[in-house]
Amino acid sequence: MLPMGNVAISVDHLTKRYAIGVPARHDTLRDRVAAAVSWRKRQTFAESGHHREFCALDDISFEVRQGEVFGIIGHNGAGKSTLLKILSRITAPTSGSADIYGRVGSLLEVGTGFHPELTGRENIYLNGAILGMRRKEIAARLEEIIDFAGVEAFIDTPVKRYSSGMYVRLAFSVAAHFEPDILIVDEVLAVGDAGFQQKCLGKMQQARRGGRTVLVVSHNLPVIEHLCQRALVLSQGRIASTGPARQVVQAYAGLTTGLAESALHARTDRQGKGQVMAAAIEVLDQHRTLSPSAVCGRESILRWHYRCLPGTVLRRCRVELSLHARIGDPYETAYFLMSTDLVSPLPLDLHGEGYIDFRVPEWPLSGGQYYVMSYVESDREVQDWVHHAAMVSVVDGDFYGTGRSYPPNWRGKSVLIKYDWTQTAHQTVPSLL
């Protein structure tokens, strides 16, 4: 039964704090297993008194109306996942309230709610039963769910053998076809091909037309702008902006600009184990001298500084820097990526402090300001991942060696490439007249 005003979700002064370094309540079976393995290490750390409190959500309030598609955006560590776990009743708030009016279907990560040893078909029945559906009701939707997911050939295979794409297609199909009053979706469009993504968008729009509520979290800003009526931006656990989706997306662009200008070593909006962290990113010229800008067409170097925990040696590391759309472009297009393992077969180990230079012989981006994403892993475990880690200023240069550049009204101007052209003139065909 919906309350007055047709409110589907009501969040009121919601706060969630975590005690870092002391034993905590574990919300899932996976959390309990991990806690049992590391109990002695955490207990010793807690007894030493070296613990602090981390505020994942800080006194946030908002409402989502029935039949609305509502978007949530924010950088890594902003509090999005914590909010969704509270709304899905996976974890409890420290204070405040989050009231849900209706049956909820949640898809917070790939394969949420699936048992790896059961087949796809068995997991469909299991999820339906958890939602309180009878076997006949589940059977009536079974073929439609399988067809939407496109996993017909593997439906009787244990889902532990599924690829990530198969996992997410089936998980989304199950969550959407059991028609909950409120569908909560976290980055489902990050996995899957373009065709499936369009099917997902269509299904969410269909849910809205049917009077159901959709809460969607995504880094894909065009999706938020196109699909949602309203949205909010979370930043460091607080609501930084809320309102019509288009205005919120524009506000987010300004927020990320501020993040990119802050000191990288002090940033808290990062993901990973943290045994090594990006400390700074600098631009150097061909003489390895610090430069305020990269110059289009000239040699430029991005220097990635790192710091490891004392006494830590990280083996088989991979460092990536990617360049993203110029500031003011809400779509944050990725233009190119540089990764240590793409151009060298040598193993990379990290310890202490140091830096890695990524040398670009002829800088291929035209004038403007661009975001840099920093990522490092060791032994395939994410160590440090920061979006909008830095901002790189680029000035136009004589890329082609002709003193010419793109026409001033060319809107696609960003990536430049080296090319040439030739002409082949055929003999003129004589007139028949």
Q: Among residues 234, 258, 282, which one ends one of the domains?
A: 258
Residues 254 and 288 in one domain: no
Residues 380 and 254 in one domain: no
pLDDT of residue 24: 47
Residues 6+ apart with CB under 8 A from 138: 124, 125, 128, 129
CA distance linking residue 11 with residue 154, whole number of Å: 40
Does 31 fall in a domain?
no
Residues 65 and 83 in one domain: yes
Structure tokens at 420: 């040439």
Does 244 fall in a domain?
yes
Residues 180 and 244 in one domain: yes
Chain centroid to CA 382: how far? 14
Spell out a b/e string for 337-347, using b for 16 or more CB atoms within 10 Å of the CB, else e. ebebeeeeeee
| Side chain identity at residue 184, one-letter code | I
Residues 6+ apart with CB under 8 A from 65: 5, 6, 7, 8, 213
pLDDT of residue 39: 41
Are 101 and 67 within 8 A, CB to CB? no
Residues 137 and 252 in one domain: yes
Domain that residue 329 falls in: 267-395
Residues 299 and 155 in one domain: no
pTM over 0.85: no
What CATH number does residue 147 fall under? 3.40.50.300
Q: What separation, in Å, do the N-terminal and C-terminal C-alpha atoms of the chain show?
A: 85
Does 322 fall in a domain?
yes
Residues 271 and 252 in one domain: no
CA distance linking residue 86 with residue 365, whole number of Å: 42
Q: How many domains, the chain?
A: 2
Per-residue pLDDT of the chain (433 residues; tens, 9 = 90+): 344 458 999 999 999 998 755 444 545 544 554 444 444 444 444 444 445 677 889 999 999 999 899 999 887 778 888 898 898 888 899 999 999 998 887 766 555 568 889 999 999 998 888 777 889 989 999 999 999 888 999 999 999 998 877 887 888 888 778 778 888 887 655 555 667 777 777 888 888 888 889 898 877 777 788 788 999 999 889 999 999 998 888 777 666 666 666 789 888 888 899 999 999 999 999 999 998 889 899 999 999 999 999 999 999 999 999 998 865 554 567 899 999 999 988 889 999 999 999 999 999 998 888 999 999 999 989 999 998 899 898 888 888 888 777 776 676 678 888 887 766 777 766 665 5
CA distance linking residue 72 with residue 185, whole number of Å: 10
Q: Whose structure tokens read 């030493």? A: 48
Residues 253 and 292 in one domain: no
C-alpha distances in Å from residue 56, one per residue of 67, 77, 83, 235, 383: 28, 8, 9, 10, 20
Q: Among residues 224, 258, 292, which one ends one of the domains?
A: 258
**Residue 303, helix vs strand vs coil:** strand
**DSSP labels for 304-343?**
EEEEEPTT-EE-SEEEEEEEEEETT-TT--EEEEEEHHHH
Structure tokens at 192: 């899957």
User: Taking Cα atoms as reference points, which of 374, 383, 397 lies closest to residue 282?
Assistant: 374
pLDDT of residue 349: 95
What CATH number does residue 339 fall under? 2.70.50.60
pLDDT of residue 2: 41
Residues 11 and 105 in one domain: yes
| Side chain identity at residue 226, one-letter code | H
Residues 133 and 213 in one domain: yes
pLDDT of residue 399: 87
Does 407 fall in a domain?
no
pLDDT of residue 417: 82
Residues 101 and 231 in one domain: yes
Does 45 fall in a domain?
no
Burial of 205 (0-12, 13-18, 19+ CB in 10 A): middle
Q: Whose structure tokens read 């202490």? A: 352
pLDDT of residue 184: 86
Residues 107 and 129 in one domain: yes
pLDDT of residue 190: 55
